[in-house]
Structure 1
Amino acid sequence: MLVVQNINTYIGRKQIITDATFEIHPGNIIGLIGPNGAGKTTLMKTILGLTKFDGQIRLNQTTVTENQHAALANVGALIEHPAIYPFLTGQQNLALYAHDPADCRRLIAKLEMTTYIHDQAKGYSLGMKQKLGIAIALLNDPQLVILDEPMNGLDVEATIGVRRLIHQYAAQGTAFLISSHILSELQKVMTHAILINHGRIIVDQPIAEFEQLHHQAYRLHTENSQLTVKLLSRHHIQYTLDGDTFQVNPKDIFEIQDILSAQHVHLKELTPISSSFEQIVVQLLNQQRGGDQHHD
């Protein structure tokens, strides 16, 4: 549906995005992850043709160019702040964009905005404005929805409601590109992860592949640590040792079990060492930082 190919984005003379390439397919929910200043919002604006860039962006085979939005007729977006007219009611704001009044009513009900939708938007709380912005982005059954920090200002119930709505639209084929600093929330909806740092994409993977990183090592404890050391060393199997506990590579665990069994060394423990999603992201960013420093 969306193809982003070798994109370089500039603000003034400063390059913000470097050689970004990825694809989004119908029903994908892409989590765009990265530290502040990594280029998440700039990348989203680039896809919407709002910034100067080179490279190629195609939406359903139609090329997106700067300040030319014909390709974006079926794209909904919420970037930075909801585009709301303060002296219009929420209903009037939605009516400006809606093709179908029934679509408006559906979104008002699903986002639980009924009690205040006829009030002027200038009196809305941050969470109310955010829900109205999300509703505007979801109007007219878009093929692609781009949401920048959509959970910003939402309470727990509203967050759950928005998450449910994203799943419903994705199940019908709508694709999403969502940035959020609340990684635990993003993890609950996304099917793919794109990790960006210093304007470069450093990870672009389905979430199932990404989560394999959760089990980067196994903890091994045997009844005879000294003999285990000798056996692992003899078979050139890498390990680290902390007291009597070994840390070994997942790819070696079947061979290790065979070796220990052949020598009648019994296992006391063999368990994966898990990292949280946040820890994995931090590890990847630190690895890249280390690589950048080494390169310098």
Structure 2
Amino acid sequence: MLKVSHMDTFIGRKRIIKDVSFQVKPGAIVGLIGPNGAGKTTIMKTILGLTKFTGTVAVDDQPVTENNHAALSGVGALIEHPAIYPFLSGLENLKLYSRDSDDMDHVINLLQMQTYIDTKSKDYSLGMKQKLGIAIAFLNRPQLIILDEPMNGLDIEATISIRKIIKQYAAQGASFLISSHVLGELQKVMTKAILITEGKIIVDKPISEFNQLSHQQYKILTENMDQTTQIFKDNRIPIIKSDDYLLIKHDLLFQVQDLLYANHVRLLELSPRGMSFEQIIVGILEKQRRQQHEK
């Protein structure tokens, strides 16, 4: 649905996005994540033809250029702040973008905006304005939906609702590119994660691979921890000491169990110790910074 190849984006003469390539397949929910200033919003603006770039961007095999935005007819977007007119009602704002009144009514009901849709948007709360911006992005049954920090200003109930709607549209074939600092929420919907820092992609993987990473260590507790530690040391088993237990890599699991059995050490607990998605991402970024510092 979206194919970005060797994209460089410039602000003035400065190259902000550096040789970025990735794809978003139909029905995929791709999370674009990274620290502040990494280039997430700039990538989204470039895809929408709003900034000068080299390389190629294609939506449904149609190229996006500075002078030709026809490829974007099937794209909905919310970038930075909702593009709404404050002295128009929510409904009037939607009518400016809508090509199908039935679809517009469907989006209003889906986002549960009926009680305030006729009120002037200048009187909306931050969360209400955000939902209106999301509603605009979902109008006209887009094939590709680009959302920049969509959960900003939303309460828990609205966040859960948006999450369900994203999954619903994806199940019907719509593709998503979403940036968010709320990684826990993003993890619940995305099928692939793209990690960007300093304008470069450093990770582009299915979310399933991150889930595997989160269970790469096992917690071990035995009836004699001192003896266990010595056994592992004698057999060159790398361990991490943590409080009153030990951590080992998952690929050493069977070897460790055999050693304990051979040495008559009773195992009290053996369980996976997961890392959160945030911890994995922070670890990758820290490793990247160390490598850059060593160069």
The equivalent of 1:85 in structure 2 is 85
1:150 is paired with a residue of what secondary structure? Answer: coil
1:170-181 alignment runs, 5 A limit: 170-181=170-181
1:283-294 alignment runs, 5 A limit: 283-294=283-294
Amino acid across the alignment from 2:85: Y
My pick for the range that moved more, 140-149 or 208-217, is 208-217
Is 1:164–2:164 an aligned residue pair? yes
My pick for the range that moved more, 256-265 or 72-81, is 256-265
Is 1:12–2:12 an aligned residue pair? yes
> TM-score, with normalisation over the residues of structure 2?
0.93
Contact preservation (8 Å) 2:210, 2:277:
no
Query: Equivalents in 2 of 1:242, 1:188: separation in Å?
Result: 29
Query: Equivalents in 2 of 1:275, 1:55: separation in Å?
Result: 37
The equivalent of 1:280 in structure 2 is 280
Query: Equivalents in 1 of 2:13, 2:154: separation in Å?
Result: 36
The equivalent of 2:25 in structure 1 is 25
Q: CA deviation at 1:171?
A: 0.9
- Residues 82-128 of structure 1: CA distance to partner in whole angstroms, max 9, x if unpaired? 11122322212211211210001111111121122122222222222
Query: Equivalents in 2 of 1:138, 1:10: separation in Å?
Result: 29
Contact preservation (8 Å) 1:26, 1:174:
yes
1:134 is paired with a residue of what secondary structure? Answer: helix
Contact preservation (8 Å) 2:193, 2:203:
yes
Query: Equivalents in 1 of 2:149, 2:67: separation in Å?
Result: 24
Structure 2 unpaired stretches of 5+: none
The equivalent of 1:119 in structure 2 is 119
1:1-296 alignment runs, 5 A limit: 1-225=1-225, 227-229=227-229, 231-233=231-233, 235-241=235-241, 245-295=245-295
- Residues 53-108 of structure 1: CA distance to partner in whole angstroms, max 9, x if unpaired? 12221211111223421111111000011111223222122112112100011111
Query: Equivalents in 2 of 1:153, 1:71: separation in Å?
Result: 31
Q: CA deviation at 1:243?
A: 7.3
Q: CA deviation at 1:241?
A: 4.0
Amino acid across the alignment from 1:51: T
- Residues 229-260 of structure 1: CA distance to partner in whole angstroms, max 9, x if unpaired? 55435544322345763321111111221233
Query: Equivalents in 1 of 2:167, 2:243: separation in Å?
Result: 47
Query: Equivalents in 2 of 1:172, 1:106: separation in Å?
Result: 15
1:215 is paired with a residue of what secondary structure? Answer: coil
Amino acid across the alignment from 2:240: T
Contact preservation (8 Å) 1:9, 1:18:
yes
Query: Equivalents in 2 of 1:244, 1:132: separation in Å?
Result: 52
Query: Equivalents in 2 of 1:3, 1:243: separation in Å?
Result: 48
1:115 is paired with a residue of what secondary structure? Answer: coil
Query: Equivalents in 2 of 1:49, 1:124: separation in Å?
Result: 30
Query: Equivalents in 2 of 1:124, 1:225: separation in Å?
Result: 60
Query: Equivalents in 1 of 2:274, 2:240: separation in Å?
Result: 17
> TM-score, with normalisation over the residues of structure 1?
0.92
Contact preservation (8 Å) 1:223, 1:268:
yes
What is the percent sequence identity of the aligned residues? 59
The alpha-carbon distance between structure 1 residues 96 and 259, as it changes in their structure 2 partners (threshold 3 A), is same
Amino acid across the alignment from 2:111: L
Query: Equivalents in 2 of 1:128, 1:277: separation in Å?
Result: 29
Structure 1 unpaired stretches of 5+: none
My pick for the range that moved more, 166-175 or 238-247, is 238-247
Query: Equivalents in 1 of 2:243, 2:74: separation in Å?
Result: 59
Query: Equivalents in 1 of 2:164, 2:112: separation in Å?
Result: 13
Contact preservation (8 Å) 1:50, 1:67:
no
Query: Equivalents in 2 of 1:253, 1:62: separation in Å?
Result: 50
My pick for the range that moved more, 74-83 or 243-252, is 243-252
1:118 is paired with a residue of what secondary structure? Answer: coil
Between the two proteins, the alignment pairs up a number of residues equal to: 295
